[in-house]
Chains A and B, each alone.
Chain A
């Protein structure tokens, strides 16, 4: 395969990415390649930079990119504003979804959908068509329709907020979805429902980056690749069995600098080329 063809087949290519928050370096040379249709899991201890990575991809201005590059479908992602990235098909399900009092969930979501559609030069959806669309998607994530008229995430329980994120994802139809700790704060039933919602959206060319601290979610959303993030770098990559291994061994080996006993699942950490 030629170098060009290989590039063309990636939805996301992160090369030697360095990023900092308030002048503190957090990401220190992160490399990651995601192909269309793949599900990647990023695991790692608290503070390893998982959310930072998600925010950098989404374009949060508090996170400064110091060096490295990010290509999205071959274009320079770092050149785009957060809303352009969203309209280009990048979706971030937040670890801590923000509430917006005074704006109904339905109104917010329709505004978002129409903003994305305008960008794509598609016609806007009216209230009736929207309601039809959103209802079908709500069924997918097992969400109570009453939540449509409530203010965005305002007074929502942890589980309701996470479902709302997945609902938004389902409506906005992204090409690359990043789920940041979508499992945290969910009980096992809610977790299953959310995971089923995500699985229903899998398929085709849609790619996912599932960020999680725990292996549990990955029993439901089975990843193609698993990466371990530590101190701002991906230190190991493997297939889904790597997640189980981490579950057994924990993350303490990262501090000691020793890797756990090499397993079958281990693959070569991808080097930046």
Chain B
């Protein structure tokens, strides 16, 4: 096969997860006002304090404007056209997985997420979120024996209201930004996780988000609290059907690590990216932030972002406790017309706080990839350290890579280092591989994986393999 044919074949390969599940949905009509919020609260049977929280957020949101500062081009989102609540029917209290709609189980099966515990190879507990609601959580009983709470946000509101009241909005207040305000007003479900004092969570916790219904925004809310001396590793994955409209996903994730606690949060984001001409795809506008509240606490973000038409997200760490550590490892890939504006904020408040930022941006096709990061060393952060490395790789000459590393240092003892490189996968590199017997496709995937190695090594083993494959699929058809 000639190289041209090879490329054509690759280019024709479509998004694997673009199917639609035929389930009857229980939705509320499109549009957003206070009644919409009351309706969500009613359907979910939420307490008054949460209604108040939502309404305050909504009123604040109405005073805000859709931000335009990121380096992306987007269509205007008409918030009155969106559906804010869509749940697969029937939604009744599920006592076991046997009661989950087989269509839904099959959907997650197709996505490679088996919800049947005995079938799972890996030691991973999964919370599966379908459109607005959590449909199943595996292993919750086993986790409960250790005092670990893991399940849907909605259940946690009912069963652990004190924890939710204490921490909801404590890291990302609804006033934070336009999307966090919107999310606080209309969020429908997500995962909640609490690891008690001294407990090292024995398995990976994972939430799998799936957008299915048309015209629906997904506004999930995730809250993870790691109590003193506890550790947890959490992974989130996402997909959506292929549609030619832009669907909005505006999540908020809050992490709280108390003294000596460690949270590792990994994301493999594969929302539908739109077609090769840039039609459709998910708008992924997410606020993720972790608070290293206690001394010697640690929060580590690892993300592999290959999907979405537009990604805006800056998983950040507030390093409040002395000797606390924040890490950000990111691979963002944009192909065709995808745009990503992503990075992190490391806010150093405590003494001897340390942060590491490793960002790998890969641009192919006409993709635009921006790293935007802030290292903010406050006045009292004696002996703070940061190391940042931002590498960009370009495939072809119609794509772009941009780097905006902002640094603010208010304490002279701080040491902040920044390194940046830009490289291109050259045709000469590919030919070199070809001449040694390696196909173009394998050569690209090898070079890109080599480029991302430092980030992949941070992912839990089984997801590292998945991430590599995902990257290869996302890059198909990108050379030529």
* Chain A residues with a Cβ under 8 A of chain B: 58-62, 81-83, 85-87, 91-92, 94, 97-98, 100-103, 107-109, 111-113, 115-116, 119, 151, 168, 172
Contact = CB atoms under 8 A, between A and B. Distances in A.
A115 B439 contact: yes
B68 interface: no
Chain B residues touching A, majority SS? helix
A98 B434 CA distance: 12
Contacts of B446: 103, 107-108, 111
The 4 closest A-B CB pairs, nearest first, are A102-B450, A112-B436, A82-B434, A103-B450
Contact of B447 (A92, A97, A103, A119): A103
A161 B352 CA distance: 44
A86 B436 contact: yes
Interface string B419-450: 00001001111011111111110100011001
Contacts of B442: 111, 115
A98 B437 contact: no
A78 to B, nearest CB: 12
Nearest to A115: B437
Contact of A101 (B428, B434, B440, B450): B450
A98 B450 contact: no
Contact of A81 (B2, B429, B447): B2
Contacts of B431: 58, 60-61, 82, 98
Given A81-B2, A111-B442, A115-B442, A100 B432 contact: yes
Contacts, number: 79
B108 interface: no
Given A109-B436, A112-B436, 12 more contacts: A62-B427, A81-B1, A83-B439, A86-B437, A92-B435, A98-B432, A101-B423, A101-B450, A101-B451, A108-B433, A115-B442, A151-B450
B453 interface: yes
A98 B450 CA distance: 15
B3 interface: yes
A98 B426 contact: yes
B284 to A, nearest CB: 27
Given A102-B451, A102-B453, A103-B450, A115 B428 contact: no
B432 A97 contact: yes
B429 A168 contact: no
A97 B432 CA distance: 8
Contacts of B2: 81
B434 A59 contact: yes
Contacts of B433: 100, 108, 112
A116 B2 CA distance: 18
A61 B435 CA distance: 12
Interface in B217-249: none
B429 to A, nearest CB: 5
Contacts of A151: 450
A100 B438 CA distance: 14
A119 to B, nearest CB: 7
Interface residues of B, number: 24
B432 A102 contact: no
Nearest to B434: A82
B438 A115 contact: yes
Nearest to A82: B434
A103 B451 CA distance: 8
B149 to A, nearest CB: 41
Contact of A100 (B437, B450, B453): B450
Contacts of A59: 434-435
A98 B438 contact: no
A83 B432 contact: no
Nearest to B453: A102
A98 B423 CA distance: 14
A80 B451 CA distance: 30
B428 A98 contact: yes
Contact of A83 (B423, B438, B450, B453): B438
A29 B114 CA distance: 63
B1 A116 contact: no
Contacts of B451: 101-102
A165 to B, nearest CB: 10
Interface in B439-480: 439-440, 442, 446-447, 450-451, 453
A100 B429 contact: yes
Given A81-B2, A97-B432, A102 B447 contact: yes
B469 to A, nearest CB: 16
A172 B446 CA distance: 19
A112 B437 contact: yes
B472 to A, nearest CB: 14
Nearest to A86: B437
A82 to B, nearest CB: 4
Contacts of B429: 98, 100
27 contacts: A58-B431, A58-B435, A62-B427, A81-B1, A81-B434, A82-B431, A82-B434, A83-B440, A86-B434, A91-B435, A94-B432, A97-B432, A98-B426, A98-B428, A102-B447, A102-B451, A102-B453, A103-B446, A108-B446, A111-B438, A111-B442, A111-B446, A115-B437, A115-B442, A119-B437, A151-B450, A168-B436
Nearest to B2: A81
B429, B433, B437, B439: residue with the most chain A Cβ atoms closer than 10 Å: B437
Contacts of B434: 59, 81-83, 86
B433 to A, nearest CB: 8
B361 to A, nearest CB: 14
A119 B442 CA distance: 14
Contacts of A61: 3, 427, 431
A61 B432 CA distance: 12
A61 B223 CA distance: 53
Contacts of A107: 446, 450
Interface in B69-116: none
A181 to B, nearest CB: 16
B1 to A, nearest CB: 7
A230 B142 CA distance: 79
